[in-house]
A and B are shown apart, each in its own frame.
Chain A
């Protein structure tokens, strides 16, 4: 079912929050046979925490053992690899290396290895020479590394969009620009107040509101957790840097410094970050020059050859952190409510595992519908550089964005899609990569605006006919 206005029907489940976690739960609920609506306050999905992350599919080697997070990450990792090919999603195997530069770093290795073993992840110790052999671009004073072969990179937007799309193709309902402002429960039914829209009724509500999780939780009960968003800033290097190395370079976590991750992206760039800065504001995270400069320098320290490469862009994301380090997932049987909060820094990986766990909670506490048969599968457009892209095909039509080689057709498909069209410019960029390249829209903004104008009103306004600079000579 496509996006519709709310009707007066009663849903089995209303999910609040269309981040990666909400999208995965949406899919799982629909496939489990529940009539489900997903409510997202943003103009598109993935406008919150899920907008900006490191795009790593974690093995969970460094998770705190025996936590819910460790379990969900392990399961999410396995499930993603199981289902990705069916939806034309990619997973790029790079492996990761926790790299030591000092004696203190080296002293941490036994702990890292032991933790990985407890998490059931195979790792291997590399001495300095082996580390350099695997990644010759590493600075020469590398002292050794713990190699985690199983770490992968994924497309952080196509994956959750695929989950939501599969839910929609199989009868789920999505309401965007649907800010849940409050709600009350009467005779076992939640009546959710949506700003400027009709009330949505559902038997069970699932709170996946990310950085707003505690505020939404307050609809059901005094929130047992408080969100203090933790900002992470990133610097993105040009695609020219892509072939310098392959393995994700992770820092040794020490009590004092977090260190930075240097990784490729599946789109062919190199990413450096993130920082970890607690803050109060729940949206619109800022980047700041000094931290960006520090990230750049840190990257040069790790991969000196990065000095020869330009920065393409910078961005920041907000982790929904609480006072607890573990996920906050709980079913409130008497309230008809499931809490899914504090999915801080592993949600992209954990999402499918979380969703499976939530469906189990739903079946145990609320209802046990028959799973859907004949499940429809979405086919996602490929944005991953290692696989063929549309611009390489015959009859590609004009290319609109030359840095990322995005065709006009791809942009039109994303805008006119009947199931889940781009709802914002950000959404269009996440679906196609237009304007995301080294020129950051110098060459393509105009064309993208022309294509998007009718679908995403408000980005540009027309200039009065007679006033336009048409270049005619006088």
Chain B
């Protein structure tokens, strides 16, 4: 019997473990299906990690090590959780076979992954050399590369990571391709880096199809209504992250349509009162520091849960996405005499206007001005006292 089982040894899971351990919780284990802890940062060979939680500017692997060391609890690698049942029951696949473990609380911190070619319904043949940033980074980190001159699809932050990885791996991308007229990432430094590396960024350019037999030989692209062939030997699909929420889903926890992660309340609880979720499994994708902070916040809620101090699930007020809002989390909030809840949301498109949270009578509960791109997260502070007597909430963007 465990007090807390944490599923996933990435930034969120390891940060939660650290808080729980420091608070004196004894029976904790972090279960990790791969061979080593650290999550995705392990394979990010570029700097930009640890600022929010360690106050340092590290490369991914160093950050992964720091998280692991700081956790201070047993991390069971090669251990896959295959299902969760009500009552704090986890089905676990280990070297010993299939086992059933029990815990007072379970934290899902299973992270996120990129959308590969398949679900994008991309045209063309299906040769070797088509991959995602994540897989590419992992290969380069281990000293191998699957191609020399790939195209990079997308211009999110991670797309620029792919560029940096390419540089480390002695790979020269022929181009970065972005459908929109502007770059998705908003860090001019990255764009600059791309220019330094000499990779052309083709805007308003659509990937039409992938060419090649056994291996990628090129891509057909369309720019300004004109199609042409770009010779390359690989294709890296970057970004379009989705929560890796399959464990939640197959365990019967409903996923939110907007975030595509498990729906949670403002205490990080899913609809199962013993199961919590934090980090990028909630919604894709925030940088590791944000995931780590959520892990810590969730751990503090778990501490309260262990003391029996969390409100009844039934008393939560649901929040729905209204006009212009693509996703919102947490999806259920609790009224309280005092305190503040931070609501997170993403917009459907470039939005300028007022983000307004209203109750079932149309009364404003919270509001703020916004001007954001769709992939940007906005925060809205909500006073818990304003929720007293409210039965449903709705978040809209208004002009």
Q: In the complex, are the beta carbons of A396 and B59 less than 8 A apart?
A: no
* Residue total for A at the interface (Cβ-Cβ under 8 A): 59
Interface presence of A127 (CB below 8 A): no
Residues 80-98 of chain A: 1 if any B CB is under 8 Å from the residue's CB, otherwise 0?
Answer: 0000000000000000000
Give min CB distance, B255 to chain A, whole Å: 9
Q: In the complex, are the beta carbons of B95 and A446 less than 8 A apart?
A: no
User: Which residues of B have CB within 8 Å of A464?
Assistant: 170
**Complex Cα–Cα for A214 and B213 (A):** 22
Beta-carbon nearest neighbor of A438 in chain B: B246
**Complex Cα–Cα for A405 and B361 (A):** 50
A402 in contact with B33 given A441-B131, A450-B144, A462-B143 (CB within 8 Å): yes
A405 contact from B80, B125, B141, B168, Cβ within 8 A: B80
Residues 83-118 of chain B: 1 if any A CB is under 8 Å from the residue's CB, otherwise 0?
Answer: 000000000010111100000000000000110111
A399 in contact with B116 given A392-B93, A445-B131, A469-B168 (CB within 8 Å): no
User: Which residues of A have CB within 8 Å of B246?
Assistant: 240, 403, 438
Q: Which of the 9-residue segments B132-140, B190-198, B275-283 touches chain A?
A: B132-140
Q: In the complex, are the beta carbons of B121 and A440 less than 8 A apart?
A: no
A459 in contact with B128 given A240-B250, A284-B213 (CB within 8 Å): yes
Give min CB distance, A195 to chain B, whole Å: 16
User: Which residues of A have CB within 8 Å of B142?
Assistant: 446, 450
Interface presence of A460 (CB below 8 A): yes
**Complex Cα–Cα for A382 and B153 (A):** 37
Q: In the complex, are the beta carbons of A469 and B169 less than 8 A apart?
A: yes
Residues 387-429 of chain A: 1 if any B CB is under 8 Å from the residue's CB, otherwise 0?
Answer: 0000111111111001101000000000000000000010000
Give min CB distance, A289 to chain B, whole Å: 5
User: Which residues of B have CB within 8 Å of A283?
Assistant: 213
B97 contact from A394, A425, A461, Cβ within 8 A: A394
Interface presence of B295 (CB below 8 A): no
> Can you list 26 contacts pairing A with B, beta carbon distance less than 8 Å?
A240-B246, A287-B123, A287-B126, A288-B123, A310-B119, A313-B119, A316-B126, A392-B93, A395-B95, A402-B33, A403-B246, A439-B116, A441-B135, A445-B131, A445-B139, A449-B144, A459-B128, A460-B145, A461-B144, A462-B144, A463-B144, A463-B145, A467-B169, A468-B140, A470-B61, A471-B141
Q: Closest 5 interchain pairs by CB? A: A469-B168, A469-B45, A471-B61, A313-B118, A440-B116
Interface residues of B (CB under 8 A from A): 33-35, 42, 44-47, 58-62, 78, 80, 93, 95-98, 113-114, 116-119, 121-128, 131-132, 134-135, 138-146, 148, 164-165, 168-170, 209, 212-213, 242, 244, 246, 249-250
Interface residues of A (CB under 8 A from B): 235-236, 240, 283-289, 292-293, 296, 310-316, 391-399, 402-403, 405, 425, 438-446, 449-450, 453, 459-465, 467-473
